[in-house]
A and B are shown apart, each in its own frame.
Chain A
Amino acid sequence: MSFRKTIGAAERSAWLLVSPLAVILAGFLVLPILTIAAVSFWNYNEFTYYPDFVFDNYAYLLTSPVTLATYLKTLKFMVLTWGFCTVIGFTVAYFLAFHVRSLGGQVALFLLCTVPFWTSNIIRMISWIPFLGRNGIANSTLIELGVIDQPLEWLLFSDFAVVLAFVHLYVLFMVVPVFNTMMRIDKSLIEAARDAGASGLQILTNVIIPLSKPGIMIGSIFIVTLVMGDFITVRFMSGGQSASVGRVISNEIALLQYPAAAASAVVLLATVLLMIAVMLRFVDVRKEL
Chain B
Amino acid sequence: MTTGKAKTISRRNVLKGAAAAGGLAVGSGAVTGFPTIWAQNIKDVTLRQFGTGVSNLNEVAQKVKQDLGFTLEMTALDSDSVTQRAATQPKSFDIADIEYWICKKVWPSGNLQAMDTSKIKNYDKIVGIFKSGKLTPESIIAQGTAPHSVGFVEGVDGTKFADHETGWMTLIPTIYNADTLGIRPDLIGRPIESWTELLNPEFKGKASILDISSIGIMDAAMVCEAMGEVKYGDKGNMTRDEIDKTMAIFTEAKKAGQFRAFWKSFDESVNLMASGEVVIQSMWSPAITAVRSKGIPCVYQPLKEGYRSWGGGIGLSKNLKGLELEAAYEYINWYLSGWVGGFLMRQGYYSAVPETSKNFMSADEWGFWFEGKPAEGDIKNPQGQVMEKAGAVRDGGSFYDRMGAVACWNAVMDENQYMVRKWNEFIAA
Contact = CB atoms under 8 A, between A and B. Distances in A.
Partners in one complex: yes
Interface stretch (B103-111, B148-156, B343-351): B103-111
A135 B407 CA distance: 36
A134 B87 CA distance: 41
B260 to A, nearest CB: 6
Contact of B259 (A73, A241, A256): A241
Nearest to A254: B80
A156 B276 CA distance: 13
Contacts, number: 70
B261 A239 contact: yes
A157 interface: yes
A155 B60 CA distance: 41
B428 A248 contact: yes
Contacts of B264: 240
B106 A47 contact: yes
Nearest to B268: A240
Interface stretch (B10-18, B304-312, B370-378, B419-427): B419-427
A58 to B, nearest CB: 16
Given A46-B416, A69-B428, A135 B276 contact: yes
Interface string A45-77: 011100000000000000000100110010000
Nearest to B272: A239
A60 to B, nearest CB: 9
A99 to B, nearest CB: 42
Contacts of B84: 254-256
Nearest to A251: B424
Contacts of A229: none
A194 to B, nearest CB: 53
Among A136, A156, A242, A254, chain B packs the most CB atoms within 10 A around the CB of: A254
A152 B424 CA distance: 28
B12 to A, nearest CB: 62
Contacts of B259: 239, 241
Interface in B78-92: 80-81, 83-84, 87-88
Q: Is the interface on chain A under 10, 10 to 19, 20 to 34, or 35 or more residues?
A: 20 to 34
Contacts of B420: 255
B425 A66 contact: yes
Contact of B87 (A48, A129, A156): A48
Nearest to A135: B276
A288 interface: no
Contacts of A191: none
Interface in B334-385: none
A248 B424 contact: yes
Contacts of A156: 277
B284 to A, nearest CB: 16
Interface in A105-133: 129-130, 133
A70 B416 contact: no
A243 interface: yes
A48 B88 contact: yes
B87 A240 contact: no
A284 interface: no
B254 interface: yes
Contacts of B211: 240
B412 to A, nearest CB: 9
Contact of B276 (A73, A134, A243): A134
Given A241-B254, A241-B261, A46 B108 contact: yes
A134 B211 CA distance: 22
Nearest to B109: A47
B275 interface: yes
B262 A47 contact: no
B428 A254 contact: no
B263 A240 contact: yes
Given A46-B105, A66-B428, A240-B261, A133 B81 contact: no
A247 B427 CA distance: 10
A154 B66 CA distance: 51
Contacts of A134: 275-277
Q: Which of A47, A136, A242 has the most CB of B within 10 A?
A: A47
Interface string B405-422: 000000000001100100
B424 A66 contact: yes
Contacts of A238: 261
Interface string A82-93: 000000000000
B344 to A, nearest CB: 27
Contact of A133 (B83, B208, B275, B429): B275
B205 interface: yes
Given A48-B87, A243-B428, 13 more contacts: A46-B417, A48-B109, A66-B428, A129-B271, A133-B275, A134-B275, A157-B260, A240-B264, A240-B427, A241-B427, A248-B428, A254-B84, A255-B420
23 contacts: A46-B105, A47-B88, A47-B106, A47-B108, A48-B88, A66-B424, A69-B429, A70-B428, A73-B428, A130-B275, A133-B277, A135-B275, A153-B205, A157-B277, A239-B259, A240-B427, A241-B427, A243-B428, A248-B424, A254-B81, A255-B80, A256-B84, A256-B87
Q: Which are the 7 A-B pairs with shortest beta-carbon distances?
A: A239-B261, A240-B262, A243-B428, A47-B87, A254-B80, A47-B109, A157-B261
